[in-house]
Amino acid sequence: MFGLGDFSLEVSDTGRWRVTHASEPSRTIFALSEDAPLLYAARTFLEAKEHQGSFEMSEREVETCQQPKVENIYYDGQALVMQGGFSDGSRGCETLTFEFQACAAPEQGHLSWGVTTSNPNFNFLIVRPTSSADERIYGLGEQFPHDQLDLKGRAIPLLSQEGGVGRGHVPISPAVNAASPGSAGSQNTTYYAAPHYITNTNRSLFLENSEYVIFDFREEEHLALRLFSPHMDGRIIHGQSPLELVERYTEWAGRMPAPPQWINDGAIVALARPLEESQQIISDLKGDGAEISAVWNQTWSGTSETFIGEQVLWNWVQNENQLPTWGDFVATMNNQDVRVLCYINSMFRDVSELEGEPTPRRNLFAEAVEAGYLVKKEGGDPYMLEVTAFEVGLLDLTNEAARTWMKDVIKEEMITNAGCQGWMADFAEALPFDAELDSGVAASSYHNLYPVEWAKLNREAVEEAGKLGEILVFNRSGWSRTPSYSIMLWQGDQLTTWDKYDGLKSALYGLLNGGFSGIALNHSDIGGYTSLSRYDLGYKRESELLKRWTEMAAFTAMMRTHEGNQPEANAQIYSDATARAHFARMTKIYKALAFYRAGLFTEANTKGWPVVRHMMMEFPEDDRAQTTDDQFMLGSEFLVAPILEKCGDCDATRKVYLPEGRWVHLWTGTSYGSTSGGEEIEITAPLGQPPVFYKRGSSVAAQLLINLEDAGVILN
């Protein structure tokens, strides 16, 4: 038995580890499986084919070594080192050696460990920690499972990429793949991946690597970490509850700052339409009582017509030719205490190719090409990426001069010239594996770091402008340390549907699962984004879906609408008087919760705890709570069970699981639940009254009721 800080590590004769913690010496928090090779090493060719941000991964093993033998173990009082070789018999294996290491990490409750081989050409490693048949596993970033959040039984590739359109929805996914192979995605594709998990048995592990990795949870008695790298570096975390494990993990991964206070004042309304029309819509919504904190306009840089319709002009300069009254619009909105948000990504379109349009005063693509700021192909030419209907160049974030230039663009063009008080920092998942970067680092290793650095660049620009706490930046892509830099996450593009694949249900799943991996502040496009409708046929947003999505969003970290990719086909929050009234009610409820969310934002910043929490986080000893994936906790005080099924003209009902205790229905004041155990009830939920409960005697709920009354929100 070896002492490593507060940890103890026992090594068997075959080199298998068993790790315990001083506070719980009888509980195993990590062990290496006795039923599989201690280490698997292989020379492998990995191929990654990129298509519009989606990746098709394939590998071919050339030589494998899977008969390791431990030859030496030594301990210097602080670190344990275990060395050995392989007895497979092949030429490469005969000379290949390996080394495991373990030591206490600086962060509380962390044990660092790693393994490396003597030949970097053996670039694929497998390590197998133990598991159990009934262990439930959560995390790996923002995952969108189809049927349950428990990831046990699946092999999940971790790569930041386009989430896809449909993610397995039939007939949408087959149709999308037929038109654009690979673009439909699956339940394994995500914008934000992280090699970190938490189990219901309070075991947690993460890798510090950025290379492509597969977390294989298909075997009952062990897991398999399949990493495409010649070295594996990780941490074992000790904690006695899911929230403690999240806190420990985010000490390393980073924690998100409290967002600007003004987001608590109401919803952010997306309007990509003529500015005068936008002003009128905001006026109408406010006239009906809606609480609005900001308006979000993606078209501040202009638009262009392509074969798929009107698209944002990817040249991050305020387009005075198309929007000569932009400054007046910003001033008008600000005078109404409504902020104006914009849009940006790390790609540039050559605006000199535009036909029939006045030339913008700056061509950022040309500037970047001349200065050598773009990611390159072998040979030195800019690596042009196809995105929807045009090609773009990608900013090289390993080039310090390029980063400085881009931050200057943000500070000068967005903050100063355009008056943007926030923006969506989109994309960042498309770095090809065969690209060449200024720093010389392999693109295959940097691919998953690119979204982290994109979030960091935006954060630095805000800080350099002296606007942290004033400006809101929200991004969708990420890897392990994105929380160190992101101000707000959003879940990317969902379908404007109810389904579990890529619709409303999937948005709830992504929100809940991401909270296990440090995504403390997160939200989705209200109503979804992607519609596939033509001639009034196909998929488009229904009014009922929009209302139910709005209800869910009112109890999350941020409430933001989106008109979708086909605004005219979709129901909108401003479509009619009924839509405006419902939206106004939910924004008042969101604002009434501002005092409570402010405290949750502080918890997110100081502890890494998510604002929206899976039931298991608050009720870790409740087996039913561990498997309840269709409702959530807003902090520790409110249980929310959103309506996830279409009802039509009926009064929707749904079953709700209430953990032990007496729970009060927010809208009627009726008490439910039992002090002797959990209980399932069925509740009616008219529009505007999603099932929400609080524990009897909650002082937070008492304040909310006062705020709702002051806001004129009518309860039953």
Residues taking part in catalysis: 426, 429, 493
Residue in this structure with the two tokens 């540039």, named with its chain if needed: 348
Q: At what angle do helices 699-711 and 577-592 cross, to 10 degrees?
A: 140
Residues 6+ apart with CB under 8 A from 58: 46, 47, 49
Please report, for residues 410, 417, 424, 715, the alpha-carbon distance to residue 302 in angstroms, rounded to integers and kept in the order given.
Answer: 16, 14, 15, 44
Cα distance between residue 694 and residue 678, in whole Å: 14
- Taking each helix axis as running N to C, give the angle between helix 364-371 and helix 400-409, from 0 to 180 degrees, rounded to the nearest 10: 160
Q: Which residue has the tokens 């770091």?
A: 449
Q: Identify the burial level of 306 via C-beta atoms within 10 angstroms of its C-beta, where 0-12 means exposed, 13-18 middle and 19 or more buried.
A: exposed
What does the DSSP assignment read for 322-360? T-TTHHHHHHHHHHTT-EEEEEEESEE--GGG-SSSPPP
**Type of residue numbered 714:** I
If DSSP codes are grouped into helix, strand and coil, which group holds residue 550? helix
**Beta strand ranges found along 172-216 (DSSP E):** 193-199, 204-207, 213-216
d(CA 31, CA 128): 9
DSSP labels for 422-482? EEEEE------TT-B-TT---HHHHGGGHHHHHHHHHHHHHHHTT-BTTBEEEE--B-TTG
Could you give the CA distance from residue 16 to residue 26 in angstroms, rounded to a whole number?
Answer: 17
Buried b (16+ CB within 10 A) or exposed e, 645-683: eeeeeeebebebbbbbbebbbbbeeeebbeeeebbebeb
* Token pair listed for 244: 């403690």
CA distances from 4 to 105, 252, 381 (A): 9, 19, 50
Distance CA 115, CA 232 (A): 5
Report the amino acid identity of residue 562: H
What single letter denotes the amino acid at residue 422?
Answer: G
110 touches 205 (CB < 8 A):
no
Cα dihedral value 66, 72, 76, 79, nearest 10: 0
Q: Is the Cβ–Cβ distance between 167 and 502 less than 8 Å? A: yes
Written as six digits, the tokens of 467 are 């606007």
Among residues 127, 126, 63, the alpha carbon closest in space to that of 96 is found at 63
SS (H, E, C) 602-659: HHHHHHCCCCEECHHHHCCCCHHHHCCCCCEEECCCEEECCCCCCCCCCCCEEEEEEC
C-alpha to C-alpha distances, 188 to 155, 318, 542, nearest whole angstrom? 9, 38, 27
At 213, list the tokens.
């990795």
How would DSSP label each residue in 498-533?
--TTTSHHHHHHHHHHHGGGT--SEE--BT-SB-EE
Helix (H, G, I), strand (E, B) or coil at 11: strand
617: exposed, middle or buried (C-beta count within 10 Å: 0-12, 13-18, 19+)? buried
Sheet containing 17-21: order of strands: 2-4, 7-11, 17-21, 30-31
The partner residues of 116 in beta bridges, in order of sequence, read 99, 231
